Amino acid sequence: MSNVEIVCNKLSKSFSGKSIFKNLDLKISAKESLTVTGRNGTGKSTLVKVLAGLILQSKGSILINENNLALQKEKWFAKTGLLSPYFNLYDELTGFENLDFFYKLKSNGKEKSGNEEKVNSLLNEVNLFDKKNEQVKNYSSGMKQRLKLAFAVINKPDILFMDEPRSNLDKYGIEIMNRIALDHKERGILIIATNDEEDKQLCDKSLNIEDYK
Amino acid sequence: MTGDILNSSMLIFKKDLKSELRTRYVINSLLMFVLVTISVIRFALGDEKTENELLTGLLWISIFFSTSNGLSRTFVKEEERETSIALKLSSDSTAVLTGKLLFNLVLSFALNILILILFILITDYSVKNVSGFLITVIIGNFGLVSASTIIAAIISKANSKGTLYPVLSFPVLLPLLITVINATKLASLGVGTEKLYGEIIILVSYTIVITVVSYMLFRFVWED
């Protein structure tokens, strides 16, 4: 089990003077899970981006602690995985090439024995093994979402962010997503931005972003 | 640590190369751009005998605009296709810049070899001091690539990417262009390499300064 926790203090974010959320306090530790809810356009994805370190907060602080020591921001990405609709993987590469590239990058570019098995096993987990040598541009939107799911957990992250994880998934895809989320919850922090009732049931806590306006 | 960054840079470089060879996102448009530019120069010059002073200027106009057209796309492509977040989540910013610099260097040198060959074939351009000429062109290219890559990273975050590139690149590249045009002109006229020492020092210094500044700035551009 990981010993990672996220601690936010008086977190606020605004764009061009318009407040998205303010004074948000949050503490979440390993084996805890949280859904971020709120109507469309109220700032769920913005909060996920801020927590994941993709954009800076306007005020307040975020710490990611490991064994009670704050991690340097450069180390955050090594601890996190993200599934979200606002990024893509490389269309011109195959599913295997994409995961292999990102797995090696996340391992600091080192060629490790067992890379190929790890990537193949992950492709199998998201039911894309048969299509692993096809370019991603030929994938359906559901297949692309499953590939992004594999990308999110490729480094066995301590913190997994899922923003609208059901997007484009059919019921089999949702089963895979649920299985991966529940598996992650056993050892790390799970944060899901969603309004879906079934997603909410995956998590122990809930935060309505509209309460921080 | 340095080894890790170099390994990651090579991975990014290889990915960009594979990606480019599959999509021809930059290569095709650059080839067309070079052919059109060289053809326009040919038609403009006609059968007139042109001096090396003028031809050197025309050569660098071709190199500058072709390079601007191609190198600016490395980061723009990542932003437009929304792949930059996956890259950001997976790699250190220094490795990303190094990988992109390597890719741009390879692209730029391949492009400039093509431009030089075509230019010499269609004009009366003759180079008397070949070694001095090659030294200045090669160092000039390093500077051009270094400056263009960081400018490309900056403009990739902006809305009006196309118009911003020339606005930002012109003042930054002006000292390099003035020096490299002068140096290659002198080399083509037969001035000895030892007399180009001053220009070479300026080109090397410019390249080192712009590269160091790029590495200092890039983290803020990339992670914002």
List of residues 6+ apart from A26 with CB closer than 8 A: A6, A7, A8, A11, A34, A207
- Please give the C-alpha separations between residue B64 and each of B37, B143, B181, B183, B222, in angstroms, as whole numbers: 11, 12, 11, 15, 25
**Mean local confidence (pLDDT), A75-83:** 90
Q: Which domains does chain A have, with CATH numbers?
A: 4-212 (3.40.50.300)
The fraction of chain B above a pLDDT of 70, given in percent, is: 99
**Is the pLDDT score of B188 beyond 80?**
yes
pLDDT of residue B1: 57
Tokens of B72: 């600016």
Q: Which distant-in-sequence residues (6+ apart) come within 8 Å of B139 by Cβ?
A: B180, B200, B203, B204, B207
Asked if residue A8 has pLDDT above 90, the reply is: yes
- Which is higher by pLDDT, B144 or B157? B144
Q: Name the residue with higher pLDDT: A99 or B163.
A: A99
pLDDT tens by residue, B8-65: 999 999 999 999 999 887 888 889 989 999 999 888 888 778 888 889 999 999 998 8
The answer on pLDDT for A112 being more than 70 is: no
Q: What is the pLDDT of residue A26?
A: 93
The strand order across the sheet containing A33-37 reads A80-83, A159-163, A189-193, A33-37, A205-208
Tens digit of pLDDT for each residue in A146-184?
999 999 999 899 999 999 999 999 999 999 999 999 999
Helices then strands, counting H and E runs in chain B, come out as: 9, 0
Lowest mean pLDDT segment, chosen from A117-121, B32-36, B128-132, B159-163: B159-163
The nearest CA of chain B is from the CA of A62 a distance in Å of 16
User: Residue A13 above 60 pLDDT?
Assistant: yes
Q: What is the mean pLDDT of chain A?
A: 92
**Contact predicate A107/A137, CB 8 Å:** no
- CB distance A109–B95 less than 8 Å? yes
For the ranges A121-130, A170-179, B71-80, which has the lowest average pLDDT?
A: B71-80
Distance between B79 CA and the closest CA of chain A, angstroms: 9
Q: Tell me whether A187 touches chain B (CB under 8 Å).
A: no
What integer best gives the mean pLDDT of chain B?
90
CA distance A111 to chain B (A): 9
Tens digit of each residue's pLDDT (9 = 90 or more) over A198-209: 888 899 999 999
Give contacts of A46 with chain B, Cβ < 8 Å.
Answer: none
Give the pLDDT of residue B224.
67
| A109: pLDDT strictly greater than 70 | no
Using CA atoms, how far apart are residues A201 and B41, in angstroms rounded to an integer?
Answer: 68
Q: What is the mean pLDDT of residues B123-141?
A: 92
Tens of pLDDT, residue by residue over A39-67, are 999 999 999 999 998 898 999 999 999 98
In a mutagenesis test of the B interface, which of A46, A86, A90 is the best target, namely the one with the most B β-carbons within 10 Å? A90
Report the residue of chain A nearest B84, measured CA to CA: A87
Chain B interface, best mutation among A91, A101, A155, A159, by max B CB count within 10 A:
A101
CB-CB neighbours of A123 under 10 Å: 22
Which pLDDT tens digit goes with each residue over B94-127? 999 999 999 999 999 999 999 999 999 988 888 9
- The answer to whether A78 contacts chain B (CB < 8 Å) is no
Contacts of B4 in chain A (CB under 8 A): 108-110
A74 with B92: Cβ contact below 8 A: yes
Is-contact A190 A162, C-beta < 8 A?
yes
Q: Is the pLDDT of residue B215 over 70?
A: yes
Residue A210 pLDDT > 70: yes
